[in-house]
Amino acid sequence: MRTISLQMPDLIDITDRDILKLLAAKLYESGKLSLGQAAALAGMTKRGLMEELSGCGVAMFAMDAAALERDIQNA
């Protein structure tokens, strides 16, 4: 496992936990981490992270327009 040190300006009002949550959410969104891996990185349960994803601007399920259209036609 790799350790990263990050210096944040004091004027940015964000907790270490929120930084980890945002990083985990974005890595999940990009497909770099599974939901379980992202939750572990954030120090959360899978369910806890799932509940927080929308607040991080990340959709729980990604579906492009073509897949959505197929899904609607098959309903």
Distance CA 22, CA 25 (A): 5
pLDDT, one tens digit per residue, over 22-37 is: 999 999 888 899 889 9
Domain spans in the chain, listed from the N-terminal domain onward:
16-73
Residue 64 is predicted with a pLDDT of 66
At 59, phi and psi to the nearest 5? -80, 140
- The residues, ordered by sequence, that sit 6+ positions from 4 with a Cβ below 8 Å of its Cβ are none
pLDDT, one tens digit per residue, over 11-66 is: 999 999 999 999 999 998 888 998 899 999 999 999 999 888 888 888 777 666 67
For the whole prediction, is pTM greater than 0.85?
no
